[in-house]
Amino acid sequence: MKIGFVSLGCSKNLVDSEKIMGMLKEASHEMVSDPAQAEAIIINTCGFINPAKEEAISTIFKMAEYKKYNCKKLIVVGCLAQRYKEALIEDIPEIDAVISIREYPHIHEILGQLLDGHDLVSYAKAERLVSSKPWTAYLKIAEGCSNHCTYCAIPLIRGDNVTFPMEQLIEEAKQLAARGVKELVLIAQDTTKYGVDLYGKRSLLPLLQKLHEIEGFHWIRILYMYPDEIDDELIEGMAKLPKVLPYFDIPMQHANHRMLTAMNRRGTKEDVLKLIKKIRETFEEPTLRTTFIVGFPGETDEEFEELKQFVKDVHWDRMGSFTYSPEEDTPAFDMDGAIDEEIKDQRLDELMQLQQEVSFANQQKMIGKTLEVLVEDQDGLRGVYRGRSVHDAPDEVDGVVLFTSERAINFGEFVKVKITEAMTHDLKGVEVC
């Protein structure tokens, strides 16, 4: 059958989508990009916060329109399917099947019967159909989360942290390298907790050491590192692995101790300041990224000001922020002290404006430096290339490097770029030999 696939949400969801598409391709189904041609459409949904739910519902209704044409089966999978399976079946009759995440071990049987009556290769054994740029791929090293932050529905959706065996990950990584992947990005809800449930201890560093030995990878990047689990052994071990980038994605969520406690976040602002000092002493040019929540129930003006001061003190290289979104069935949902939406938005604007100033100052320090850049695109009219440096994660998480060159460059190639101009998020430069 001709199958259209829509993947919403985070990179962890994308890996799930790639595995499902790989199952379908191995069974000789044809993946099509035009939903008007699709005989079946599968939507992998996100259900993390309200805007993600709204996007998922909107996408389902949009894809349901194609049932007027060629589409015979509309199938919904993913996080929204896990949380609201019965409601989706009841409220949207155009949907032919809703497959929850907990059903993924049997998804080959379910999809096989829905599509053509034949079983597919199992989800666990499927080879991913990598849908990102061919030189970059994500490696999901664990499923679920055991941190149980009071605002987060992930443990409700995906359960507690379950580490994937190291041998399985190494084999998957070797397959990706053999297919030309040069940048491997490790992801999980909490990458630093890797191995605790399976091996009885944090095992991210041993995994990195094994991945580092694989031929073909040029960069290995880690995302979603929980601050209190980044210890000296991990930092010093990473420093001995040249392929492993000193890119530290450390979601803080707040700086005030009372707020962190209310969120069930371990550690303190002081602990993180010590951690950052250690990272900056160990690496010449590390990248420090974080995210914050503003408007959490009970957040006072003084606590918000403390957060702003923390941003000034640390000078984060990259920072994202979002307003608190109440999620049903989470402990924070019923907390007293709800913040008015207008105040939430005002605080978000203030924090992001502050970070823009910090980011611009940080970026100015890059002028005159030469960076290694992974080339990803080109503006054909202007002849300007676009790529990412070691400081930039994929999928528009961070900024880009725009540069000119006197030669033709292949996408996926690594080049040296001397920075001549810096903006708030992006850099400009010229290739140097």
pLDDT, tens digit (0-9, with 9 covering 90-100), for 230-269: 999 999 999 999 999 999 999 999 999 999 999 999 989 9
DSSP 194: T
Structure tokens at 427: 């850099």
Task: Please list, in sequence order, all residues whose beta carbon lies within 8 angstroms of the beta carbon of residue 311, skipping any fewer than 6 positions away.
Answer: 255, 292, 319, 351, 354, 355, 358
Note the pTM of the prediction, 2 decimals. Answer: 0.93
Query: Going by DSSP bridges, is the β-strand pair 370-379/384-389 parallel, antiparallel, or unpaired?
Result: antiparallel
**Digit-coded pLDDT (tens) for 95-148:** 999 999 999 999 999 999 999 888 788 888 888 998 889 999 999 999 999 999
pLDDT confidence tier of residue 227, bands split at 50, 70 and 90: very high
Query: Going by DSSP bridges, is the β-strand pair 287-294/162-163 parallel, antiparallel, or unpaired?
Result: unpaired
Decide: helix, strand or coil at residue 134: coil
Using alpha carbons, select from 230, 248, 238, 243 the residue that is nearest to residue 205.
Answer: 238
How far is the C-alpha of 393 from the C-alpha of 333, rounded, in Å? Answer: 32
Using alpha carbons, select from 79, 111, 68 the residue that is nearest to residue 14.
Answer: 79
- Amino acid identity at 217: F
Question: Residue 369 CB: number of other CB atoms within 10 A?
Answer: 14
Question: Residue 299 CB: number of other CB atoms within 10 A?
Answer: 23
Question: Residue 125 CB: number of other CB atoms within 10 A?
Answer: 12
CA atoms lying within 13 Å on the CB side of residue 51: 5
> What is the dihedral sign for C-alpha 426, 307, 47, 160?
positive
